[in-house]
Amino acid sequence: MGFYRTLLACYGPQEWWPGETAFEVMVGAVLTQNTNWNNVERAIANLREGDLLTASALDGISHEALAGRIKPAGYFNIKARRLKNLVRWFCEAYGGQIEQLAEVPQDRLREELLSVNGIGKETADSILLYALGKPTFVVDAYTYRILVRHGCLGAESSYEEVQEYCQSVLPEDRELYNECHALIVRVGKEHCKPRPRCNGCPLEGFEHWVEEG
DNA sequence: GACCAGGCACATC
DNA sequence: GATGTGCATGGT
């Protein structure tokens, strides 16, 4: 809780997730897999330009056309397939209606999301929290890296262990989870690179940093 | 040119 | 079950 307050005082509210609709947030969650958000924004702009930010539109478009639109986000063939999988499930099981999705109990919905090929734990939790407002903490590379380097968790910690740690030190509150994850990404981008360099250190150049594994 | 970015699935041992 | 690899664009 202390780190959350410190980050909030330092950076202020981050106002996440950027996206006009819940469906757009779902699409963004897939597109941002291992990808800079700037590139995702270009891809989303391309989709918006083609009026493709609806479940029915994406369900109807060809793989090639979709891949072409999302090219700036990288991994476009894989992501086109993953978006198709997600949308197909969404349409088949819930008629492409966000309201119907939102009624499903959180645990069951997470299981269903994880059963879609291309939707992993982080993507599923991002959709649950940011698109549907469910109180689940999103763990990403920054969350893991920051908590391990601060000694809060061991390097071998699993996704669930990191998630449980965060949820145990924070009150269960979707808005707080939302803000906290956004702040972690913010501070991580600026101060927690995968391979820290020690400017001026005589050992600079040697791999003397702690590997998280 | 090297490194990085809001992962995930799959092959192989 | 752990470990390695492919996927790809764009910024610094």
**Which residue segments constitute the domains of chain A, with CATH numbers given?**
2-13+138-191 (no CATH), 22-131 (1.10.340.30)
- Answer whether any strand C atom is within 7 A of the Cβ of A79: yes
pLDDT digits (tens, 9 = 90+) for A173-191: 999 999 999 999 999 999 9
Number of H helices, E strands in chain A: 12, 0
pLDDT digits (tens, 9 = 90+) for A108-150: 999 999 999 999 999 999 999 999 999 999 999 999 999 999 9
pTM assigned to the model? 0.94
The encoded tokens of residue A11 equal 């950076």
CA torsion sign for A187, A193, A3, A199 is negative
- Answer whether any strand C atom is within 7 A of the Cβ of A167: no
Which helix (H) or strand (E) element contains residue A133?
none
pLDDT digits (tens, 9 = 90+) for A42-75: 999 999 999 999 999 999 999 999 999 999 999 9
**DSSP assignments along A5-51, one per residue:** HHHHHHH----PPP-SSHHHHHHHHHHTTTS-HHHHHHHHHHHHHTT
- Predicted confidence at residue A209, as pLDDT, reads 45
The encoded tokens of residue A5 equal 């307050």
The CA–C1' separation of A31 and C7, in angstroms, is 13
- Answer whether any strand B atom is within 7 A of the Cβ of A28: yes
Place of tokens 């992993």: A120
- Answer whether any strand B atom is within 7 A of the Cβ of A142: yes
